[in-house]
């Protein structure tokens, strides 16, 4: 035996709301489109992404801490008004 495990490595990301590390598949990717934050559940939109748990608590923490403009390296403020509703819809659709 070589000492290697048969389990495959899973990429990890940090939630910008609660700052906890989790598997990439457990988090929701958020990208900046224009000057608004948009959820990217498939992870295919171009540009830099920030990851957050699909829970209202983590989204509210990230908005309150102004984490999205910092994580997405936006020069100005981003519109996060519709983000909570969109994240709730994505969380409800997830199995």
Query: Helix H segments across the chain?
Result: 56-64, 67-71, 83-93
**Residue 2 has what pLDDT?**
63
CA distance 92 to 95: 8
Model confidence pLDDT, tens digit, residues 52-92:
999 989 999 999 999 999 999 998 889 888 888 888 787 77
CB atoms within 10 A of CB 24: 12
pLDDT at 6 over 80: no
**Residue 74 has what pLDDT?**
92
12-93: which CATH topology? Hypothetical Cytosolic Protein; Chain: A; (3.30.1230)
Domain boundaries, the chain: 12-93
């Amino acid at each position: 035996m070589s000492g290697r495990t048969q389990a495959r490595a899973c990429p990890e990301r940090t939630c910008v709301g609660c700052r906890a590390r989790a598997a990439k598949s457990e988090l929701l990717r958020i990208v900046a489109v224009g000057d608004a934050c948009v959820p990217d559940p498939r992870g295919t939109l171009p540009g830099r992404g920030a990851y957050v748990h699909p829970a209202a608590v983590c989204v509210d923490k990230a908005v309150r801490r102004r984490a999205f403009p910092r994580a997405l390296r936006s020069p100005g403020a981003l519109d996060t008004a519709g983000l909570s509703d969109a994240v709730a819809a994505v969380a409800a659709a997830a199995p």
